[in-house]
Structure 1
Amino acid sequence: MEKQFETLQISYDETLLEIASVQKKMTDVIEKLGKRTTSELQIMFTRINETCKNEMQCHTEINQRYKLLQRGIECIKQENKQLVFILCKKYDTLSEETDSLYERKDNRDINFRFQYEASMLQLVSELSSLGKIQTYRNNPNQVIKVSDMTEHNIRVYPDSGDSNKATIIGICELADGEFIIADSFNKKVKLLDDSFNVVSHLSFPSTPRQMCNVSAYSVALIFDDRDLNFIRVNRQRIMVERIITFEHFCHGIGYHNNDIFVTDAKTIYCYSIEGQCKHKISLAQGMLLRCL
């Protein structure tokens, strides 16, 4: 019965993470649409604003030319008919430019108005929830079969030092649907998006041995020396939160109820998440290589 309660709690926690992941994806889509619409408004404003500034500059220049012509007309004598004729022609030309400027009405009295997508808002408002919550029973006799298999290129380009070969010793799914994999051959941790493209990576001096989830966006990774790295993913960026160095070698790692289980060849160690050893179990014979 205790095992059933534990399984139920795990299923509940995982479902909560799935709901939060869908909610985040919807929020990201709305945010992207908002940024795109805001950018469109900014482009329109910049274009119209620049046109208005140019028209104002033209008005200022025409006014200055009118003043210069007026002064010229006042200063010349009437008997200088040739000069009067030239000034009059310039005046006529300036008048035509003024009329043409005032006839431009494309950018006058313009205001902005946002017409939102009512159909999208109506669709969301008509939804009663993000999805249906269903229950199912586990079948202990169920046989798991591979229904499909695809290949993906996880090599990091360019000049990353990645070879054509990769040895994946661990893969963990994060709450947002991304995957973090440990490549022991290239001594790297790589982050894959939901389309299995490498979007980030982190190199290490030692060889990774095994990896497990510890939270929605964190994993624990052990190396072939004595180090345990807690790795967190934030906005497609991989970072090492902290490192615990043990007095024994590390072969396998597992996580359960806020406890870390680490194995060397002969012993299983139980540590708190802070790195304090709580207890250990030694084997009389055989070898321990991994935690499951």
Structure 2
Amino acid sequence: MMKNDGPDIKHQPNRELIKCLADCTDLGKITSRIGEPQHDVDPGKIVSIEGKSENKVQTTIDKNKCSITGICGTSNGDLVIADFYNKCLKLLNQAYKVIGQIELPSYPWSMCNISSFEMGMTVSKAALDVLNGIHLLRVDDGNITSKNVLKMNHAFFGIEHFCAELFVTSGTAVYEYTIVGRLVKKLYEDSNGDFTSKL
């Protein structure tokens, strides 16, 4: 190995870009494909499915019927699914067979990829439950392992990862956190109902 005595490089995300993206309501619309005649695509057109398959993800240790609330893929083609009623995550191989499972302390609501083998999962029961948190997980060699749990003082439902930041919803607000759990800021709040903010 060669020793690199050069300077370390650190990337600082452009906050102006993040603010701009927060103000966007959409990324535009598709009007035509390159090389095809120009015409508008009918947004009301029905899309047909050419095929489907069903796979059983219920395992013998499950106490309740499986209810999938989140799904993430890894770079090797495995899938991690969140099973709400059984309070667990299940690892499926490329043949969609359950090869691993990890129990969670409360109900899994949503999940997102952080890297090709890492994901974030919101776990929440009630507004101020001590079990609420963001679980950071990793998939290695057919196993799901918990890397860290970030605890905050509100419920967690939706989650998304962008530019090394986590964006989570509490049901009525959207928060921006660093990947280590430090609050950056509250981006939005609408307390006119129980679930007024979604990711």
TM-score when scaled to structure 1? 0.49
**How far did residue 289 of structure 1 move?**
5.0
**Equivalents in 2 of 1:182, 1:283: separation in Å?**
27
Which of the residues 151, 155, 177 maps onto 2:54?
Answer: 151
Is 1:249 paired with 2:155?
yes
Runs of 4+ in 1 over 2 A off after TM superposition: 139-147, 281-290
Whether the aligned pair in 2 keeps the contact of 1:251 and 1:289 (CA below 8 Å) is no
**Which letter maps to 1:222?**
T
Which of the residues 196, 206, 220 maps onto 2:120?
Answer: 220
Match of 2:70 in 1: 170
Which of the residues 236, 241, 264 maps onto 2:142?
Answer: 236
**Equivalents in 1 of 2:163, 2:50: separation in Å?**
32
- Counterparts of residues 119-138 of structure 1 (less than 5 Å): none
Greater Rg over alpha carbons, structure: 1
**How far did residue 200 of structure 1 move?**
0.6
**Does the residue aligned with 1:216 lie in a helix, a strand or coil?**
coil
**Which letter maps to 1:146?**
I
Which of the residues 265, 269, 273 maps onto 2:175?
Answer: 269
**Does the residue aligned with 2:114 lie in a helix, a strand or coil?**
strand
**Equivalents in 2 of 1:281, 1:168: separation in Å?**
28
**How far did residue 161 of structure 1 move?**
3.4
**Equivalents in 2 of 1:256, 1:146: separation in Å?**
31
**Equivalents in 2 of 1:147, 1:270: separation in Å?**
39
**Equivalents in 1 of 2:162, 2:49: separation in Å?**
27
**Equivalents in 1 of 2:138, 2:198: separation in Å?**
22
Whether the aligned pair in 1 keeps the contact of 2:81 and 2:90 (CA below 8 Å) is yes
- Counterparts of residues 6-17 of structure 1 (less than 5 Å): none
**Equivalents in 2 of 1:248, 1:153: separation in Å?**
34
Whether the aligned pair in 2 keeps the contact of 1:224 and 1:250 (CA below 8 Å) is yes
Is 1:209 paired with 2:115?
no
**Which letter maps to 2:182?**
Q
**Which letter maps to 1:245?**
K
**How far did residue 146 of structure 1 move?**
2.8
**Which letter maps to 1:219?**
M
**Does the residue aligned with 1:228 lie in a helix, a strand or coil?**
strand
| More strand, by proportion | 2
**Which letter maps to 1:290?**
K
**Equivalents in 2 of 1:216, 1:180: separation in Å?**
12
Whether the aligned pair in 1 keeps the contact of 2:165 and 2:178 (CA below 8 Å) is yes
Whether the aligned pair in 2 keeps the contact of 1:210 and 1:290 (CA below 8 Å) is no
C-alpha RMSD of matched pairs (Å): 2.6
TM-score when scaled to structure 2? 0.70
Deviations 1:58-92 (A, max 9, x none): xxxxxxxxxxxxxxxxxxxxxxxxxxxxxxxxxxx
**How far did residue 265 of structure 1 move?**
2.2
Aligned residues: 155
**Which letter maps to 1:277?**
L
**How far did residue 288 of structure 1 move?**
3.3
Whether the aligned pair in 1 keeps the contact of 2:173 and 2:197 (CA below 8 Å) is no
Deviations 1:190-214 (A, max 9, x none): 0000010000101122111111111
Is 1:258 paired with 2:159?
no
Whether the aligned pair in 2 keeps the contact of 1:263 and 1:288 (CA below 8 Å) is no
